[in-house]
Structure 1
Amino acid sequence: MKKKLLPIIMILVLLIAIPVQAFAKMPEVDMQLRYLNIGDSIAYGLSAAPGLSYFERYAKYLEDNYGLDENWPYPEAGGAVNAGVEGLDSMELLEALQENTQLKGLVMQADVITISIGGNNLLTPVIGAVAELYEVDPSSYPSSGAFIQALLGEIGAEGEMAWNMRLAAFTASALSSDPGTLGYALEARTEQFLSDWPAILDEIEELNPDAHIIAMTLYNPIEEEDNLDLYHRYEELVRPMNKAIMKTQNRAMVAKVEKSFAKEPDAVAFKLTWTDGYPPVLIDPHPTTMGHGIIFEELMKGRSPRSFQ
């Protein structure tokens, strides 16, 4: 019995000898994170209310919970830089990571990098097809928002019958795989993304192998009830792009935006059907303020940036 008690007594003595401070909660270290957001018009924050883009929300979350380097890369930035560019596609992002000295410098220094890219691979040909239908030049407008407003004016002036005829022609072109059609261009741009995506990660990892990267999957802005043919066509195109992103989960965390958006129609204000005598006024494929909030929630589901230091 005494032999059994001896180890217990020794353990008790050791516990008494250890200072109480050793059991106290260790003070949290101010990490002074550097947050960089790169990508397209979604990354840029288009269609979100001021201060409520996913970038602004996530930057505040990082600041409140982990701390940001207030002097990076300059005091006014406060440790968070939004390098999103309206209209950017995967080819242009890859080129920028290879050749843009300023962007490369930011990537090299960043602790956390969020990426939204791929949507314009499909949207750019769509804009081109719509511009051709209505004989307007998108480049003559200062922003995609201004182009959309001008297009709405054309749609409203022509009326429902003309809209439906143009939509039928647009749909037929989108569903086709023949050279010269919209569908042919969309398929080519999807293939381009499949080539660009791993190369984008290669560039980031070469510049900064320690960065915590979060990539966002691509959502379908078209509702099934609104236009079944275009909904399924878009799904055919975006599905392999999302699979490519999911395949790289060992290299980047993935925010599964498309699943959350599918559950919330108001995440995007997009509608093609002309109803009740009024033209379709919901033709903005970008996330609404609610949509940006959903993206932010998905970003927070990833591992804590603390574990990547």
Structure 2
Amino acid sequence: MKTRTAWRMFGVFSLFSVVVLAVGLTLGIRDVIHPAPVSWKTDRTGESSGTPKTSHNLQITALGDSLTRGTGDESGFGYAGNLRSRLAENTKKDVYVYNNGVNGYKASNLLKDLQTKPDIRRQVQQADIITLSIGGNDLFYTQSDEVKPDVIRTRIPTALTNYKAIISIVNELNPKAKLLYVGLYNPFPDLPNAKESAKVVQQWNNGVTQVLYEHPQAIFVPTDDLFRSDGMKYISSDHFHPNQAGYKRIGDRMAEVLK
């Protein structure tokens, strides 16, 4: 009798463990494909929100989505942290990052923040360098695993309208700061329709480049070539975001552009 009861309890415990594991796996996959908006305002390089502005330091205000946040980078640096390290080395100044990257953000979300959040507007006003990554979720957000280039193309006009409004606000708040926009790369080089998705990425990059031409301090930072050759080598396990090596390549490219 005791043995039967013990086996029954063991069976219930095993079933409970399987359910917990399944729920955890489902939530983990959902967070990778459609990450919840969780703000990260402090980078992992010792940045303090109370850092005084002097001629001996540089302030980077990073805006955007999960690429700005650094999702997929095991080190936690992301492109913003790598850019900070390179600038500190090149300029011999203290460089601070205010990282406002939010997983899952679209251009409309960032536009609303710039319109309504005084702390972000203040960080933009005080910045020496402003970095921006946005557009990936506008284009590639999908409820299924299937990437349809024809559907993605229909999302570009609205996203570009919001993007143009973002650039206008940033330029109005701080016309002197260098603005570095991180161009999109094709995150699906291993899919059968890789060539078509690459064309969509190029269409988006061409559109944002035309917007940036209107602002002398804005610079388009190309990244697609960084992931074109052996691209999966620099993509994280979620098959979308860069890994540590990929983010380092982006940060290094941004530092070179600033030179």
TM-score in terms of structure 2 length: 0.71
Cα displacement (A) at 1:303: 2.9
What amino acid maps onto 1:242 in structure 2?
A: N
**Per-residue displacement from partner, 1:220-257 (whole Å, max 9, x unpaired)?**
0112xx3232x133223222210022222444112111
**Per-residue displacement from partner, 1:105-132 (whole Å, max 9, x unpaired)?**
11011111111111111232x2x234xx
- Which residue of structure 2 aligns with residue 7 of structure 1? none
The answer (yes or no) to whether the contact 1:193–1:241 under 8 Å persists in 2 is no
Cα root mean square deviation, aligned: 2.1
Please say if 1:38 is aligned against 2:59: no
Cα displacement (A) at 1:53: 1.7
Q: 1:97 aligns with which of 109, 114, 117?
A: 114
| 4+ long deviations beyond 6 Å | none
1:150-169 aligned at under 5 Å gives the runs: none
Please say if 1:191 is aligned against 2:157: yes
The answer (yes or no) to whether the contact 2:75–2:244 under 8 Å persists in 1 is no
Cα displacement (A) at 1:301: 1.8
- Which residue of structure 2 aligns with residue 301 of structure 1? 256
1:31/1:92 Cα in 2 relative to 1: closer, same or farther (>3 Å)?
Answer: same
Structure 2: runs of 5 or more not aligned: 1-53
1:54-93 aligned at under 5 Å gives the runs: 54-66=79-91, 67-68=93-94, 79-93=96-110
The answer (yes or no) to whether the contact 2:82–2:252 under 8 Å persists in 1 is no
**Per-residue displacement from partner, 1:171-227 (whole Å, max 9, x unpaired)?**
6xx25x5xxxxx2xx23322222212222110001111111111111000112xx32
Q: Alignment length, in residue pairs?
A: 201
Percent identity reads 25
TM-score in terms of structure 1 length: 0.60
- Which residue of structure 1 aligns with residue 197 of structure 2? 234
- Which residue of structure 2 aligns with residue 267 of structure 1? 234
- Which residue of structure 2 aligns with residue 26 of structure 1? none
The answer (yes or no) to whether the contact 2:66–2:105 under 8 Å persists in 1 is yes
Cα displacement (A) at 1:261: 1.4
The answer (yes or no) to whether the contact 1:254–1:302 under 8 Å persists in 2 is no
- Which residue of structure 1 aligns with residue 31 of structure 2? none
1:30/1:59 Cα in 2 relative to 1: closer, same or farther (>3 Å)?
Answer: same
Name the CA distance, whole Å, in 2 between partners of 1:301 and 1:216.
13
Secondary structure of the corresponding residue to residue 220 of structure 2: strand
- Which residue of structure 2 aligns with residue 116 of structure 1? 133
Name the CA distance, whole Å, in 2 between partners of 1:233 and 1:53.
28
Name the CA distance, whole Å, in 2 between partners of 1:30 and 1:49.
33
1:264/1:253 Cα in 2 relative to 1: closer, same or farther (>3 Å)?
Answer: farther
Secondary structure of the corresponding residue to residue 114 of structure 1: strand
